[in-house]
């Protein structure tokens, strides 16, 4: 009978220790996983933008337009009055600015879509811009860049 009581006490202590261990170390922390499921992630939007292949083509297009406008302005400068030259310059600047906004928006839309796709694949709940993160989180930047490059 005394032996049964000792076994019960030992079994009780073991159960207590296992319960205490489980409470202090949740199962998800004990199991080695490589998942981001449910975590908060962040991206460096500037790095993604700079790595985006469409950014280079957008810059090239804008530079070409600017050169063409410059050439046209130089050709027409002698025939135009000063105020007409200024008006033409403003028109060219406005056209370049509008086109730049369109091209940037196309790249940003593609980045947003890539972030959505990568976040869904990794089952993330929140993705923030890196500059808004003070501590923690999963850096999703390279995953998004890789996704964009693989799908271009």
Burial of 111 per CB tally in 10 Å (0-12, 13-18, 19+): buried
Structure confidence by residue, pLDDT tens digits, 103-119? 999 999 999 999 999 99
Residues 86 and 18 in one domain: no
Residues 90 and 120 in one domain: yes
Q: Please state the pTM of the whole predicted model.
A: 0.68
CA distance 57 to 114: 19
Residues 29 and 85 in one domain: no
Structure confidence by residue, pLDDT tens digits, 70-111? 888 888 777 878 888 888 889 999 999 999 999 999 999 999
Question: CATH code at 138?
Answer: 3.30.910.20
Residues 83 and 113 in one domain: yes
Q: What is the pLDDT of residue 29?
A: 39
| Containing structural domain, residue 22 | 1-33
Residues 86 and 57 in one domain: yes
- Looking at the DSSP bridge assignments, the partners of residue 43 are 129
Contact 114, 147 (CB under 8 A): yes
- Strands in 138-139's sheet, in edge-to-edge order, are 126-129, 40-43, 138-139
């Amino acid at each position: 009978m005394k032996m049964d009581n000792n076994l019960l006490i030992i079994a009780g202590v073991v159960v207590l220790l296992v319960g205490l261990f489980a409470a202090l170390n949740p199962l998800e922390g004990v199991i080695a996983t490589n998942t981001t499921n449910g975590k908060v992630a962040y991206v460096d939007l500037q790095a993604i933008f700079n790595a985006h292949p469409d950014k280079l083509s957008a810059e090239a297009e804008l530079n070409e337009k600017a050169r063409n406008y410059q050439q046209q302005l130089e050709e027409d400068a002698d025939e135009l009055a000063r105020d007409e030259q200024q008006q033409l310059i403003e028109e060219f600047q406005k056209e370049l600015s509008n086109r730049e906004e369109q091209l940037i928006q196309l790249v940003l839309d593609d980045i947003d879509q890539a972030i959505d796709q990568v976040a869904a694949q990794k089952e993330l709940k929140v993705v923030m811009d890196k500059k808004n993160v003070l501590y923690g989180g999963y850096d999703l930047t390279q995953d998004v860049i890789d996704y964009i490059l693989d799908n271009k």
